Chains A and B, each alone.
Chain A
Amino acid sequence: MKRNVASQLLASILVNAVYAMKNMPVMLINTLLTPFSFLIVITFISRGSLLGVAIEGALIMTMVSNGLGLQGDLSHLKNDMKLQEMVVGSPTSATIYLTGMAISELIYALPALILLAILAVLFLSLTPFGIISIVGAMVMIFIVSVALGFFFSTLTADVIQSFAFGGMLSTILSALPPVYYLITYIPMPFRYLAYISPTTYAAEIAQNAAGFINISTTNLVLDWSILAVFAVVFLFIAIKKSRWVDI
């Protein structure tokens, strides 16, 4: 039979985003609220001066947390439902499953992204190039998070492992990097630590694009290159090294 790839992608989107939100509306509230918690806190303690940075931070963070969210979602489907086993033993390849599920996380993030985009238009002054830069950084960091999330989900056999992997990944991708504030706030030797995290490069690109910091063209190119390398390497690992078939 001729298999419809669009259908195969849509299946993941329906299962992990559309049906989840339609049948369990509480998830919709969650996805809307989460990005705003930090935004509000940072804005208040900076007496409003960091509002713009925090909006950008929330945009980046929404991509990271929904990308990493894939790890928890897929671990649950794999270990508690044995769904992955049904999918592995079917014509759906790992790449199609990963792509569909990645899109599902984006759709799940859509309500928050729309609200944040409105705030960005209202409170940030962006050039067209700035907008492209921010969206590009968001896409890159999403690829990194989704790839890592997928890879680690295939290694889990139990929900406890999934919690552990989730905690580790979110420390590296969301706690360590200066997303809601400027990287210049971090004192010098520690700043290098932040550069371990791919998110730092995305944040730096976004903050530069909105004019909150000024980095040299060389550094900007370097940021993009490093981010691209992270994305390509992790995507390669996700597709080639994931444990799709159990050992």
Chain B
Amino acid sequence: MPEIICKNLSKRYDKDRLALDKINLSLKLNGVFSLIGRNGAGKTTLVRILSTTLLPSAGSAYIDGMNVMSEAGKIRERIAVVPQEARPIGWMTPKEMISSYLMWRGFSYRESIKRSEEALDLLGITKFANRLSQRLSGGTKRKVLVATAIASDADIIFLDEPTTGLDPISRGELWDLLLKLKKTRFIFLTTHYLEEAEILADRIGILENGKLLSVGNLHELRNKMGYPYSIKILGSVKEIKINKGRIVKGRDGHTQIFTTEKEARRLGSILIKRKTRFSINPVSLEDIFYYFTKEEVGEES
């Protein structure tokens, strides 16, 4: 199975700060890989290096055995990129935009028009096909760009925050589309919507401060975290002794305990006896994200 491989991949824009710090990664080129991480974590930087639009400072990366630096030309035959800040050209219509992009990829004019019409239809924006892009809403502009990659022949697609600015219904529709698409193509997707990563991704990577903290599917991430269960209690837990786990100040007045299954059962029965209101759930991606990226509040025991 072909792979994306990063070996000690680093990027330094300025002297004092590493945007990517020795990333080691190996990913099967199928399904969806979703990269999550806080603003400035380095997601776009990694996307740009892998999509051959930015040079790394150190280390190396390969896509299906091809080096991103020395064999960029070969890689470009297979990839399509939608950059985070890209916008469709204002003086062109969505149909003109998508078909021009396809022509740059070497499709004939006729084939490009046909494919762009199909893509517009897939994204539900056919009614905007012939309107100037400068007059489209932000979300529709985003869809036009996603359509360029979807309409292309690329079997490796990089989408840097494709759903930012989409309304919840459009986002759901795009998810459905990507779920279909991922059966035949590999999608490298960054997002701030953890639900999106949970729904779409076969594997998820958590990036923080240029470091890849963890990679795996949801199940593996839970295991890596070591605490597959989350207990949420309204108020404090001062009087309860916790044998194993980590206490986190919740975001909404809750106290949250990440813990093992056994400890969760034990704490659960104590809380029931005390008639404290609480809930026990498997940890969500959001919990995992907080666990890995936020400074600790409680202590580990």
Please report the C-alpha to C-alpha distance between residue A87 and residue B105 in the assembled complex, in whole angstroms: 8
Q: Which residues in B have some Cβ–Cβ distance to A below 8 Å?
A: 48, 51-55, 72-73, 76-77, 79-83, 85-89, 91-93, 96, 100-101, 103-109, 112, 132, 148, 152-153, 158
Known interface pairs A15-B100, A23-B132. Does A3 touch B106 (Cβ–Cβ under 8 Å)? yes
A217 part of interface (Cβ distance < 8 Å): no
Flag A76-108 by CB within 8 Å of B: 1 or 0 each: 010011110111111111000100000000000
B76 touches A7 (CB 8 A): no
Sampled A-B contacts (21; CB under 8 Å): A1-B106, A3-B105, A4-B106, A7-B106, A8-B103, A15-B96, A23-B132, A77-B89, A82-B85, A82-B86, A82-B87, A85-B81, A88-B52, A88-B53, A89-B158, A90-B79, A91-B77, A91-B106, A92-B105, A92-B106, A245-B54
Residues of the A chain whose Cβ atoms lie less than 8 Å from the Cβ of B153: 1
Determine the chain A residues whose CB is within 8 A of the CB of B91 once the complex forms.
19-20, 23-24
Asked whether B103 lies within 8 Å of A14 as measured between CB atoms, the reply is: yes
Q: A14 contacts B55, CB within 8 Å?
A: no
Among residues of A, the one whose C-beta sits closest to the C-beta of B107 is A7
Residues in A neighbouring B82, C-beta threshold 8 A: 86
- A86 near B81: Cβ-Cβ < 8 Å: yes
Question: What residue of chain A has the Cβ atom nearest to residue B74's Cβ?
Answer: A91
- Which 10 pairs show the lowest CB-CB distances between chains A and B? A3-B106, A11-B103, A89-B81, A82-B86, A89-B51, A11-B104, A82-B83, A92-B104, A7-B103, A246-B54
Given contacts A89-B79, A90-B76, A245-B72, contact A23 B106 (CB under 8 A): no
A115 interfacial contact with B, CB 8 Å: no
* Least distance between A162 CB and chain B CB atoms (Å): 16
Closest residue of A by beta carbon distance from B54: A246
Contact check, A85 vs B48: say whether CB atoms are below 8 A apart: yes
Known contacts A85-B53, A89-B52, A245-B52; is A11 also within 8 Å of B100 by CB? Answer: yes
Interface centre among B53, B79, B107 (most CB of A within 10 A): B53
Interface residues of A (CB under 8 A from B): 1-5, 7-8, 10-12, 14-15, 19-20, 23-24, 77, 80-83, 85-93, 97, 245-247
- Contact of A83 (CB < 8 Å), options: B55, B89, B105: B89
| Nearest-CB residue, chain A, relative to B87 | A81
Residues of B within 8 A of A77 (CB): 89
Q: Which of A4, A19, A92, A97 contacts B108 (CB 8 A)?
A: A4
**Given A82-B86, A245-B52, A245-B55, also A87-B96 (CB < 8 A):** no
Which residues of the other chain, A, contact B112 by a CB distance below 8 angstroms? 7
> Which of B87, B93, B101: most chain A Cβ within 10 A?
B101
Query: Are B103 and A93 in contact, CB atoms less than 8 angstroms apart?
Result: no
